[in-house]
Amino acid sequence: MKKILFLLTSLLIFTNTTLSAPIEVTYDDGIYHIVLQGKKVKKRIKFISSESLITNKEAHQRSKSKLTINAGYFDPANQKSMSYIVTERITMEDPQVNESILYNPVLRKNMDKILNRTEFRVLECDRGEYRYEIVPHKSSVDFGCALITSAQGGPLVYPQLRLEEEFFIEKKDGEIIRESCSVLHKTARTIIGLKGDDIHILIITDKHPMDMYEVHDYVKSLGWDRAMAFDGGSSTSMNYLNKYNVTSIGDGAGRSLKSFMIVR
């Protein structure tokens, strides 16, 4: 995998304290740590998908967002999502219509595990209160709440690491016989989690690659409450204003992707 390139200004720590969408971005030892703080930012988060594959930078520019990161899994061959994506209460991507899952006997056999992989949700509840959840896709929405936007990824990283339960690994007689998404190998990662009322995001670059066990230990050390993975490896991407551009392709354009999280 090609090394992640950084197109950065000399500023390594930038804090945006505007009341509309407080975003803090810090960089240390190959890892970007992003914090989305406060209540107002909850209304400005949206998960989106593109009909055709586009780069994170293109999604960032088209949406005119402050922050854009890569989200769910997809099949680059047929350009269809392998993760559920909900945008403004509408399911925009459904992996059940992706033939790369339906026609693969191994994936079809494990369809229930794949369809129930972990997702990040933004909910609107009574009195207009917004809140976040990191739960399996088939988890019910609490009474009085509505799902506004969400993106599925997986696996759940913390407090439990659900590799086998979400079919990122398969075991036979106690031995691992199949691995997906390089979960057991050190690579770049996009991780999203919750700590109190704030969203925390890690963009783990190839300067500090991690396997999922290392990610689990790392977010535990940070005191997060819950954490999950989005697509990683060469998909790991982040744009913040015009300050940061993290890509995974040598020409700096970045890999073409299917879905994104944006903060408007």
Give the 3-state DSSP-derived string for 216-259, with helices as H, strands as E and coil as C: HHHHHHCCCCEEEECCCHHHCCEEECCCEEEECCCCCCCCEEEE
- Which range has the worst mean pLDDT, 1-10, 120-129, 198-207? 1-10
- Beta strand 146-152 with 156-158 is unpaired
Residue 235 pLDDT > 90, yes or no? yes
Residue 14 pLDDT > 80, yes or no? no
Residue 22's pLDDT band (boundaries 50, 70, 90)? confident
Q: What is the pLDDT of residue 253?
A: 61
Does a structural domain hold residue 118?
no
Residue 191 pLDDT > 50, yes or no? yes
Q: Once rounded to an integer, what is the mean pLDDT over residues 203-207?
A: 95
Q: Helices then strands (H, E): number in the chain? A: 5, 22
Q: What is the pLDDT of residue 15?
A: 38
Q: What is the pLDDT of residue 250?
A: 52
Higher pLDDT, residue 22 or 213: 213
CA 123, CA 245: separation in Å to the nearest integer? 29
Residue with token string 């088209």: 62
Count of other CB atoms within 10 angstroms of residue 233: 18
Q: CA-based Rg of the chain, rounded to a whole angstrom?
A: 17
Q: Once rounded to an integer, what is the mean pLDDT over residues 209-218?
A: 98
Does a structural domain hold residue 132?
no
In one-letter notation, the amino acid at residue 173 is: D
Higher pLDDT, residue 173 or 14: 173
Q: Kindly report the length of the chain.
A: 264
Does a structural domain hold residue 233?
yes
Q: Once rounded to an integer, what is the mean pLDDT over residues 77-88?
A: 97
Residue 133's pLDDT band (boundaries 50, 70, 90)? very high
What is the DSSP code (8-state) at residue 141? P
Q: Is 147 in contact with 137 (CB distance < 8 Å)?
A: no
Q: Is 121 in contact with 153 (CB distance < 8 Å)?
A: no
Q: Is 189 in contact with 236 (CB distance < 8 Å)?
A: yes
Q: What is the pLDDT of residue 247?
A: 85
Does a structural domain hold residue 171?
yes
Q: Is 254 in contact with 247 (CB distance < 8 Å)?
A: yes
% of the chain with per-residue pLDDT over 90: 88
Provide the number of structural domains found in the chain.
1
Mean model confidence pLDDT for the chain: 91
| Token duo for residue 223 | 């005191």
Does a structural domain hold residue 92?
no
Q: Once rounded to an integer, what is the mean pLDDT over residues 144-148?
A: 97
| Token duo for residue 137 | 């896709």
Does a structural domain hold residue 94?
no
Residue 251 pLDDT > 60, yes or no? no
Residue 3 pLDDT > 80, yes or no? no
Higher pLDDT, residue 250 or 63: 63
Q: Which pairs count as long-range contacts for 17-20, CB under 8 Å and 24+ apart, including other chains?
A: 20/44
Range of the domain at 250: 5-83+153-263
CA 77, CA 103: separation in Å to the nearest integer? 14
Does a structural domain hold residue 107?
no
Does a structural domain hold residue 254?
yes
Residue 19's pLDDT band (boundaries 50, 70, 90)? very low
Residue 12's pLDDT band (boundaries 50, 70, 90)? very low
Nearest CA to 81 out of 49, 117, 116, 113 is that of 49
Residue 166 pLDDT > 60, yes or no? yes
